[in-house]
Amino acid sequence: MEETNPPAPVRSPGHHSDSHHLRRYWLVVVERRWLVFCTFAVVVALGALYAFKASPIYESVGRLQIDPESGGMLSVRDGMSWGTKDPDYLQTQYKVLKSRTLLEQVIQKLKLDEDPRYAPADDKVKRVSEDIEVEPERLTRLVVIKARHPDPRRAADMVNTLMDLYLIQNQDRKIKKAYEGLTLLRQEAEQSEKELIKSIEEIHKYRVEKGMISLADAVSENIDAQALRTAQDDYDKQNRATADAQKIADEAEKYFSEGRIADFYGVNQDKLVSDLKSRIQASESRLAELRTRYKDAHEKVVAVLSSLERDKKSLDVEVKRAYETILSSVQVEKAKEVQARRKLEAAERRISELNEARTKYDVLNRKKERNEFFYQQVLAKVREINLNTKDTMANILVDFRAVPQPRYVKPNRPLILAASIVFGLGVSIALAFFINLMDDSIKSQEDVETYLGANFLGYIPSIKVSEQGLRGLHTHLQPTSTASEGFRTLRASVALARGSEKLRVLSVTSTIPEEGKSLFSCNYAIVTAQTGMKTLLVDADLRRPTVQKCFKLQSPHGLSAYLSDSVRNFEEIVHTTEVPNLSVVCCGRVPNNPSELLGSKRMAQFLKEASQHYDRIILDCPPITAVADPLVVASLTDGVIFVTKFNKVRRDSVLKSVQRLQDSGIYLVGVVVNDIDFDGKHSYHGDYYYHQNRYYHSHYSKEGSQEAPGKSGSRKAQETARG
């Protein structure tokens, strides 16, 4: 019985989950640490530069009290006071205090256009407005006016001048507005009266033109609507009759084209046709009876035959006549349909004309009512405002005036430095998280399991050797390195994978070139051979072969020669290596038709023969997105190991490659994240077992330093056996 793995313990959402998320956030910051540091330094430096280079700015403050405007003692009701019922009155006054017109007067009176602070500006009003601030005090009618300037006396003058000009402008505005309002309302009253008279005349003229006493009467509209419904019903009935006639005619034409028109039910309904068929049937019965007693030459038989022949000819004529009658009936029904449609269109036009007339009448009537209402409102307003035009009262008072201040308010250096530190820290961290969010490459076990939904086999550390041959034989030449331990860990993951006992023939592929696929294949084959299994490494990349460079093999005969039948013997293309239990089959010469060779029966024969001699066969295939070769080769193997380079390929690209394998029915053993630098810039992505690898590596180093020189080979052999 097969052993079943116990279910993994479920993690409860608690302290460990929160710590895990905090650690992930910390890893993002560490990964982008130089970006965070540089951004933070730039922001803080800019803040410090501004704090110590900016000129000191002084602020002066004055305050006004803005009460509701009153229409005066002669006001007949509070509703006539300017601004009393306006909820936005105070907000309007705040905007007026910083209006362009008022600021232009301040600039002209104080000659601010000659001030060095404002003279260089193209828009001096806008520049002065930036130094003036209007702040209402909450739950009061008081408004504070502030002005900032390098000269404290000039700042006080700006506030006081602005308040004085605002008071003068407000009083002038009220007086001017009262007289202008009265004049405008009188003009509006005259114009409204003219428009009302014109509206009444237009309604009367329209009634005369349409010949109707009142367009509001709906009797004619009901009659026309009934006529429209009747015409619509007649048209619908005739339309159905035409459709039925056309259907019968189509069936008759079908019977006629098949030569069976005499059997058509529409023709058989014709009386003459029906009578002739009855006569023919009777004659045929009579003929059958006579032939039982007489021969065909008998005069009675001849007479019946003659009569039967005449009736059949007559039947053909009558059938044709009935068929033509059916066809002509369609045209008759269509003509009736056209006539019914004309009546319907006439009724619709009548309804449309009536609706148009009614609509225009309603428009004219509403226009008249609106003009009449507006005229009455204007007359009432004229009578009320006429009492208030000469009675206005001041509603704005100066609470206190501005005086020069001895202490500057800007720049607030401690606040600027603190804000720049906080802002710099926030911007730098936000920028790091934004870049991390935009980075959707495969970098961790979580990416493999979450986004790809595949089994994660392990990390492969970076092999920091420039020569390709040394990189391909790294696990053989440096068996105690961190990278070698990574390959051994991966070997164990494959051994523990589902159905591992059947994984004798494995293929290795990746998404794109330059992901370390061939490097992985070579080293994985070495660590597999180190377990004592007879291992065969096959370079199945017939387009850009790499394995022969790693093992420094030069042979014209390889897999391509075997598949093209140039070499018949399997042993001729197999090369032994310095690694015990490891043999290599190179590509040989690059063929012109690699896909055809890899998908041939010869390839299946090659794998079958190789399986008879070796315990494990590893095929180095091209990338998935480049060509279709890996799908062809992987379909012949027991499973495929997918290699992706750390932080190189986007998740969507890797996912599409994995889905192509799975859609092809190929068993995906798992995904390997390759070329991760645990000792350098990627150290924060390391897992605990790689820190253990460093412990073992230090153990081997101490052991090797205590050994005699003659025993180094023995220790290396023991290490190989242990792997």
> Treating both helix axes as pointing N-terminal to C-terminal, what angle do 413-438 and 15-31 enclose, rounded to 10 degrees?
100
657-663-668-674 Cα dihedral, nearest 10 degrees: 0
Q: What is the CATH number of the domain that holds 530?
A: 3.40.50.300
Q: How many separate domains does the chain show?
A: 2
Angle between helices 219-257 and 299-385 (to 10 degrees): 150
The Cα 84–Cα 66 span in angstroms is 12
What pLDDT score does 221 carry? Answer: 56
Q: Say whether both 517 and 597 belong to one domain.
A: yes
Q: Is the pLDDT of residue 17 over 70?
A: no
Distance (Å, whole) CA 425 – CA 721: 53
Q: Tell me which amino acid residue 156 is.
A: A
Please choose, from the candidates 401, 447, 394, 413, the residue with its C-alpha nearest in 3D space to the C-alpha of residue 658.
447
415-432 average pLDDT score: 88
Residue among 471, 478, 539 nearest 675 (CA): 471
Give the model's pLDDT for residue 146.
92
Hey, which of 360-369, 504-513, 688-697 has the most confident mean pLDDT? 504-513
In terms of pLDDT, which residue wins out, 37 or 447?
37
658 belongs to a structural domain: yes
Same-domain status, 571 and 695:
yes
Please indicate, yes or no, if residue 161 is contained in any of the structural domains.
no
Residues 593 and 660 in one domain: yes
Same domain, 492 and 640: yes
Same domain, 533 and 614: yes
pLDDT band at 653 (very low <50, low <70, confident <90, very high): confident
420 and 540 in a single domain? The answer is no
pLDDT of residue 707: 40
Q: pLDDT confidence of 679, banded at 50, 70, 90?
A: low
Which is more confidently placed, 315 or 667? 667
Q: How confident is the model at residue 33 (pLDDT cuts 50, 70, 90)?
A: confident
pLDDT of residue 20: 63
Q: What is the pLDDT of residues 617-633, one digit of tens each?
A: 999 998 988 788 888 88
- Which residue carries 């009936």 as its tokens? 329
Residue 325 lies in a domain: no
pLDDT of residue 370: 73
Position 13 scores a pLDDT of: 41
pTM of this structure: 0.47
The residue with greater pLDDT, 467 or 606, is 606
505 and 432 assigned to the same domain: no
- 490 domain-assigned: yes
Q: What is the rounded average pLDDT of the residues 693-713?
A: 44
Specify the pLDDT at position 220: 54
Residue 206 belongs to some domain of the structure: no
Alpha-carbon dihedral angle through residues 184, 190, 196, 198, given to the nearest 10 degrees: -120
pLDDT (average), residues 399-404: 90
Go through 264-282 and write b for each residue having 16 or more CB atoms within 10 A of its CB, e for each that does not. Answer: bebbeebeebeebbebbee
User: The domain containing residue 600 runs over which residues?
Assistant: 445-706
N residues, the chain: 723
User: Which of 395, 419, 438 is the C-terminal boundary of a domain?
Assistant: 438
Contact 526, 579 (CB under 8 A): yes
Give the sign of the dihedral formed by CA 710, CA 714, CA 716, CA 719: negative
Is 421 in the same domain as 476? Answer: no
- Give the pLDDT confidence score for residue 86 in this predicted structure: 57
Q: For residue 386, what pLDDT band results from cuts at 50, 70 and 90?
A: low
- Residue 313 Cα to chain centre, angstroms: 77
Residues 428 and 464 in one domain: no
The pLDDT of 235-259, averaged and rounded, is 77
Alpha-carbon distances, residue 569 vs 223, 559, 716 (angstroms): 104, 11, 35
Whether 425 and 484 share a structural domain = no
- Asked if the model's pLDDT at residue 682 lies above 70, the reply is no
Residue 634 shares a structural domain with residue 593: yes
Residue 722 has pLDDT above 50, yes or no: no
If you average pLDDT over residues 407-415, what whole number do you get? 82
Q: Look at residue 266 in the predicted model and tell me its pLDDT.
A: 66
Q: Which regions of 488-570 does DSSP assign to beta strands (E)?
A: 505-510, 535-539
Look at residue 525 and tell me if it is in a domain.
Answer: yes
Q: What is the pLDDT of residues 518-551, one digit of tens each?
A: 889 899 999 999 999 999 999 988 888 888 888 8
State yes or no: pLDDT of 389 exceeds 60. no
In the predicted model, is pLDDT for residue 584 greater than 90?
yes
- On whether the CB atoms of residues 320 and 260 are closer than 8 A, the answer is no
Distances (CA, A) of 2 to 9, 36, 291, 498, 502: 21, 53, 92, 12, 14
Tell which wins on pLDDT, 384 or 54.
54
The lowest-confidence range among 364-378, 405-419, 709-723 is: 709-723
State percent of the chain over pLDDT 90: 13
* Within-domain flag for 631: yes
| Residue 630 pLDDT | 87
The answer to whether residue 484 sits within a structural domain is: yes
Asked whether residue 434 falls in the same domain as residue 462, the answer is: no
Judged against a pLDDT cut of 60, whether residue 388 lies above it is answered with no
pLDDT digits (tens, 9 = 90+) for 83-133: 444 567 888 888 888 899 999 999 999 998 888 888 888 898 999 999 899
